[in-house]
Each structure stands twice: as structure tokens, then as C-alpha cells.
Structure 1
């Protein structure tokens, strides 16, 4: 049996970031995943994700503000570009866009509001709707590259990576800590961090029944994204974008694949993450291609490729980041969480270290995030 301070279950974005932080702080940590590196069964794979400060809730604006310098810290450690600044555009339903403008103003973030026709002149490959908001700090995260960097740098700082080990069973020990058993090995640690996406609720039930009982419902859906080539002559400097309509549509450039465009949260609900298919929904593809033809004149309206991923979301789409000794739980990130990867890793590492040191955790946020992301008492 291998012994560590912390076993992190789930080597996607959040679990890998947690291992990176803990290893840099000198903790003995092992990062365990049931699948191999960069697998496509969850929600951390793919070439690109949006980074944005543009949220209608100041809590999330401030969380994104905290994440931005930590992206640069990770880039410095890995010596690779992970976040490319492109600016971001929100447009569409005016009340929705202006709610973002208000939250940005409260948080001290610069942004520009303007009419749709002005925006269309600036980004000729896009038709804009209603009012637009431009925030210059937004950009494109290189998702696959980020995951590889977190694995490499966590290992460099002393973390052990144990991938493709099958499902992990986490069971509290009668003395102290937990035992984590996979198909290949058994681990003993004082604490486990569960960050295994849609598999977190069932893993949590065995590890801490009280924590599982207080976990809000987690809905797992299979979502899909499509990549569209530019039309000949398109010279748009593509920002990331979100169209505030029903359903929301988002997009960003995905180098080597075209421009990624997708509906937000329209996929089917899954009873079991293991029972998912990887097939694209043809009706959904028709809707997205029709959207591109109507709203994105700089792109060819036929998708060149598409892929699927899983969302795991709470009813409010808030994250869950909390500790129920001897387990730290992290779930509910899919759909809008990737941009927060380095700061969520820091928060999870702080919860773990506080539990190990028998002290209150300090997120440096005046209690705002702890109140928002905590499990119900």
C-alpha cells in the first residue's frame, strides 16, 4: 500500500491543478484517474475554452480576476502559452448583457458597451444582436495543452501520477484518513480530494455519506460542439463570444480546427456517465449550422467537425468546493468552470492543507466564495 498526505481522485482540470498546488507546497500527493491522460470521456478535453471576466454575478467576476494571474503563473512554470488574449464579446438580450456590465463595473473591470451595428463593423465575420459588450481581457485557453502542462509540472514538483487505473473506491479508515482502492493499487492517505467530474457523487457516497447527503443534485448531460472553417477572405480578428438568446450560443477560435460554435446546455440528460455515447445529435447540428448561416457570415455554414463532452452541473450552476473530513469535494464545474482551473486548484489545495493542519481554511476572499460554494450544513 502506498501512503501519501493526499490522494486526488480525478486527473481532469481541477484535480490536476490541485495536485500541482499541493506538490509545489511540499505535500506528498498522488493523482489518480480511472482513464488515461487526456481522455475524451469527461469535460476537460478539447483544444479550446473561453476565458472571460464577463459574468452577471460579482462573485464570479472576482473569481475570474483571481484566476488570471494564476494562469500566467502556470504558464511561467510550464514555459508554454496556455491563455491567449483575444477579447470577448457578449451580445443579444439587452437586460442580460447590461447585468454583466453592472457586475463588471462593481468589480472595477473595464468594458465597453455599444450598439450591434457598430460591433458588426469591428468584427465583420459576425452579425450582432441588440447591444454588445466588449471586455478586452477575455481570451482562449488551450485546454489539452493546459492538462498536459498540469500533469508534467505536478510530476516535476513531486506528485505521483497513476492514470488508467479504473474506478477508485474511497473508504474512510477506522483510525484516520482514507483508503483508496483502484483496479491496480491501494493507497492510504490522511485526506482525499474528489474531483472526478460526473463520477464525483457516487464516489462521495462511499467516502462520506453525510457529505453525499448534503450534495446538491448533479445533472449530467452530453453536450456537443462544432468547428467551422472561415470563408475565403474572412479577416475577422475573432474574439470569444456569447450570444444571449434562447438557447445561449457561444464560440471562439480553435486553432487548426476553425471557429468552435455550440449551444449551451441543450444536450440530453444521462442517468449514468458510463453509459454515454459519443455520437453527435444530428438535429442539434442542424440548429447550430443554421445559426452560423444566419449570424456568422465569416464562416462556412457546414461544420467541418464536431465532438461531444459531458457537463456536470448543480441546479444553480454554482460550483461545489468544500471539505467533509476526510474528503474534499469538488464538482459542478462543467459548462463554465475551465477558466477558473488554477484558482480552483488553489482553493482545493488550501482546503486540503487546512484539514491536514487542523486549522480554518483561508481563501483570502472575505468568506464570499466559501459561502457560495459550500455544501449545506
Structure 2
């Protein structure tokens, strides 16, 4: 039996692709190597930032599409809390200008006004506020995508590790698991940190182990999602209800093999994060950190790869900022799979990379 599509990887992007394909009537199987709700990749946890705040018009458009699809999937998954960018004005102005050009609300606030409104954060420069930002519940989102896909006829299999993918023809791909060999006309590889192991040599991907942490708030103050542009490694944060305020450095973890991680917080990086919180996040207890371990799979440009090579469709390199776009990325993957539409230029595989 040959399926219309097999999706390898049941994290956010693979689950969204299965949902979008099932909506189109495709016969699709979603294969995930770990158990449901696992914490080995990049799609677990209770909170991810949602924001339109990008300097690139195509990212803003993708976020706008994703907002509608999140609402369609399950309105409870996304809560708008507002967001702020502060720090280096030269880094923020292109974002403010791009949002204005796209008609997305946003405004500059004096730091005194921002400090009064959000006393949990310290501001030393003017602040850019965008009210349409918020948070997505990651675990619930992945579960909702898989449930929606299954209701539409997709087969969702956990604890099904794919060990090999072989292209046999223009419309024939062999997918080998520990228990059987499957065939499909198209295969989507959305395997996160394991992409390079399944498709060796295709993409220059860097896998790192990141260690944000939850900190206990010391008051009931309101919390926006926030990005601090400090001229070096950016810092992000947001309130995770029931767990604390999540704060992390963006993409500064050590390079790891996803099959040989220790999941442990590196002490020097942990102390550096506490030092940051002491200085910039007065609304939490800096000694209350509960580390989180996750992976980033990053491209050299931090742009995503959403492209097709023959009957293979590749979704990779979401670089620590892709989750907000998940349902819209699922639509792009379904387009590449069923209609053969060309990749969005920003997300095409870089020239010079070998075909699988």
C-alpha cells in the first residue's frame, strides 16, 4: 500500500503538516519516534511567544496567517498579552517600521511609562509596545494538531522511529521503521534536531542545547512577552501561568548530538542567566530558577528551510523562533506536498546544497 504522504517527526511542524494534509483529503501517516508529550526536542513546554514583531514583511504575513489558523484550531491555545521590545533602538526601529508598513499596531513608550505599566521589568531606553503579541501553549498545541489530524483520517503513530528514508522514484519513497517498511508518494521530513541524521549532507544545521528557566514572580504585576535587544545575545521572556516567568538567552547553548544530551543546566550559563535577571527582571526572585532543557536547530541565517527536493519535502532549522508560525508552516508544507508549488524564496534550501 502506498500512502499519499508520510510525515516523519511529530513535533509542532510535522503535526501541523499532517493536519493540513488531512484537511485536503490526503491519506497520511504521522510517525513520531518518542511517546506523546515527550521533552526530547523543541516542541514541548507550556509557553512560546507569539508576535508579529519582525523586520521582514514575509514573516509578518506568515504570523498573520498563523494567528487565524491558531484561532481556527483552538482559540484557547493562544492568549494575547501584548509584547515589548526594548534595548538597542537601532535594532528595534526596523521592526517598528515594518509593523507600521503592514498595518500592525505598535507604539513607542517612554521608559518611565513602560516601567509603571510593567514593574517586573527594568527599562533604560524607550520601549516599543505591540499589543497583538502573546503566548501559545506548546504542549496543548501539538496535541490539538494531532487530534485534529486524526479526526480527519490521518494515522498518528508515536514510538515509531524512522531509521532510513530512500527515494525510489519520482513518486515513490521508502520509509523504514524498526517494525516495517512503508511507501508513500511524498515524505515530509520534520525531524528537528534529527534532520541531519536522516538526510545527511543536505543542510548546514547546528543543534544546540538551550537552557532558559522559569523564575517565581514576587508580585501579581502584569507581564508582557518581551525581547531585550542588548547589542549581544538577545534575551526573551514571558509569563508561563503556573510555572513562573520564563527567561532565556536566545541561541547561546552548546552544540550537542540530540541522541547524547545530558539535559542538565550548564552552571556558568545558569549563573549568567541569574545575573541577567537580577539586573533586568526585578519582578522575579533570581534565586528561584527552574531550568528548562530544549534544542535549537539553527540555519546559518536563522531563516527556516521549507522546501522540496523531488518527492521529499523538508521542514528544518526553525532556529528558536518558529513555533509561533506553526499552523501556517503546516499549510506551506501541504502546498509543497500536494500542489508542488515552489518554496517561498526566504525558506528555500540554500544554493549549492546537494540533493538527497
| TM-score normalised according to structure 2 size | 0.95
Cα RMSD (Å): 1.5
Where 1:72 maps in the other structure, the secondary structure is helix
Question: Is 1:170 matched up with 2:165?
Answer: yes
- 2:170, 2:310 within 8 Å by CA — same for their partners in 1? no
Alignment of 1:335-374 (within 5 A): 335-355=320-340, 360=341, 370-374=344-348
| Cα drift, residue 175 of structure 1 | 7.2
Partner of 2:258: 273
Select 1:256's aligned residue among 242, 253, 262.
242
Partner of 1:91: 86
| Cα drift, residue 376 of structure 1 | 3.5
Select 1:239's aligned residue among 224, 242, 258.
224
Where 1:173 maps in the other structure, the secondary structure is strand
In structure 2, what is the Cα distance between the partners aligned to 1:94 and 1:33? 42
Where 2:292 maps in the other structure, the secondary structure is strand
Alignment of 1:51-200 (within 5 A): 51-75=50-74, 81-174=76-169, 176-200=171-195
Question: Is 1:218 matched up with 2:205?
Answer: yes
- 1:173, 1:179 within 8 Å by CA — same for their partners in 2? yes
In structure 1, what is the Cα distance between the partners aligned to 2:250 and 2:289? 19
Partner of 1:209: none
- 1:67, 1:343 within 8 Å by CA — same for their partners in 2? yes
Question: Is 1:229 matched up with 2:216?
Answer: yes
Is there any run of 5+ residues in structure 2 with no aligned partner, and where? 352-356
In structure 1, what is the Cα distance between the partners aligned to 2:116 and 2:339? 52
26-35 vs 290-299, greater mean Cα deviation: 290-299
String of CA shifts for 1:101-130, please: whole Å, max 9, x gaps: 011112111101122222101111111131
| Cα drift, residue 204 of structure 1 | 2.2
In structure 2, what is the Cα distance between the partners aligned to 1:174 and 1:262? 45
| Cα drift, residue 305 of structure 1 | 1.3
**After TM superposition, which residue ranges in structure 1, 4 or more long, deviate above 3 angstroms?**
none
String of CA shifts for 1:29-74, please: whole Å, max 9, x gaps: 0000111112111100111000001112222122111211111011
| Cα drift, residue 185 of structure 1 | 2.4
Partner of 2:20: 21
Is there any run of 5+ residues in structure 1 with no aligned partner, and where? 206-211, 362-368
In structure 2, what is the Cα distance between the partners aligned to 1:93 and 1:165? 46
- 1:226, 1:303 within 8 Å by CA — same for their partners in 2? no
Equivalent residues, number: 350
| TM-score normalised according to structure 1 size | 0.90
In structure 1, what is the Cα distance between the partners aligned to 2:214 and 2:86? 21
In structure 1, what is the Cα distance between the partners aligned to 2:14 and 2:220? 39
Where 1:61 maps in the other structure, the secondary structure is helix
In structure 2, what is the Cα distance between the partners aligned to 1:185 and 1:176? 20
In structure 1, what is the Cα distance between the partners aligned to 2:121 and 2:350? 43
36-45 vs 340-349, greater mean Cα deviation: 36-45
Partner of 2:278: 293
- 1:90, 1:241 within 8 Å by CA — same for their partners in 2? yes
Question: Is 1:375 matched up with 2:352?
Answer: no
- 2:17, 2:331 within 8 Å by CA — same for their partners in 1? yes
Question: Is 1:12 matched up with 2:11?
Answer: yes
